[in-house]
Structure 1
């Protein structure tokens, strides 16, 4: 073994001890609940930024949002691309999802369902902008991670469901 040729037992022990200390430091910094919170915020940000641009007032879509779904955005499916069906409805639903799901994610409320909603939206975005797959893949990975491991302790879901229930 290469390590055996260059290091004696005491050097291997010191190296192993140093690696253990480094791993402990990393585990101290990357607490699972903190990582889950950061992942929720990281997924929420791009959708929130897109969604906030679609509105000019409470439940009032901007003309630009409707125009994008009417004239610019296309579904890249076999035999296409195709225009979005019901572009005003699609713009409204997209705008609602891009505002609601990120808020739920950051709060950690209905977290797995909010992540599922953003995963679905990510798939639609991928059909609209197929060249954006590298960033869409990161969004999908974050959404799947949130769906798999939940919101963590820094969440409303944990406050609501995480504590042991009292016997009646």
Structure 2
């Protein structure tokens, strides 16, 4: 067997592996986690958080407190700075600022969790695509190529292809198909 034949067989094997395992399992999960992470981190900037697994790190002779996990503190309370952003920079033409702030915050709380678990995945992804487009048009119109185009592509990929096999949606569909 020639080296070219070995290379072709290796390529065929890797392609078959990717088509069988990575495409239906890892890629949709990675897309869901990535999109959820973007909006979850945004949520954490708007609300008070509970820091878990904290540690102190020495950076340039200064102690900096870090945490491995941050969760929103319940009941949710929007930070004054977040409310001010929605009254100023993030102001939307049709919604009162306080309502827009709460709608964005609740969407950033619920939709990432649904995406990570794979529950109502397509609807959650489309809702985040819609939210991204609102941000693009009314808040950061210059950020399309830098950021928002990627979020939209990831969200549309999830909406079109579905959550993948590692999701509650997939398991529920299999259960109810029986």
Return the TM-score normalized by structure 2. Answer: 0.74
RMSD, aligned CA? 2.3
Deviates more, 1:12-21 or 1:107-116: 12-21
Does residue 64 (structure 1) correspond to residue 64 (structure 2)? The answer is: no
Matched length:
151
Deviates more, 1:59-68 or 1:41-50: 59-68
Offset, 1:153: 1.2
Q: Which entry has the higher C-alpha Rg, 1 or 2?
A: 1
Q: Quick one: which of 143, 166, 169 aligns to 1:157?
A: 169
Q: Confirm or deny: 8 A CA contact 1:70 1:84 kept in the other structure.
A: no
What secondary structure does 1:60 align onto? Answer: coil
User: What residue in structure 1 maps to residue 111 of structure 2?
Assistant: 101
Offset, 1:42: 0.5
Q: Tell me, in whole angstroms, the C-alpha distance in 2 between the residues paired with 1:62 and 1:84.
A: 22
Q: Tell me, in whole angstroms, the C-alpha distance in 2 between the residues paired with 1:27 and 1:111.
A: 22
Q: Tell me, in whole angstroms, the C-alpha distance in 2 between the residues paired with 1:165 and 1:17.
A: 37
User: What residue in structure 2 maps to residue 5 of structure 1?
Assistant: none
Superposed CA offset, 1:66-123 (max 9, x none) = 1001122256xxxxxxx67411110110011111100000000111111011011010
Does residue 89 (structure 1) correspond to residue 81 (structure 2)? The answer is: no
User: What residue in structure 1 maps to residue 129 of structure 2?
Assistant: 119
Deviates more, 1:60-69 or 1:102-111: 60-69
Q: Tell me, in whole angstroms, the C-alpha distance in 2 between the residues paired with 1:140 and 1:95.
A: 19
Does residue 33 (structure 1) correspond to residue 20 (structure 2)? The answer is: no
Q: Mind listing any 5+ residue stretches in structure 2 that lack a counterpart?
A: 49-73
Q: Tell me, in whole angstroms, the C-alpha distance in 1 between the residues paired with 2:169 and 2:7.
A: 42
Offset, 1:15: 4.5
Q: Mind listing any 5+ residue stretches in structure 1 that lack a counterpart?
A: 1-9, 76-82
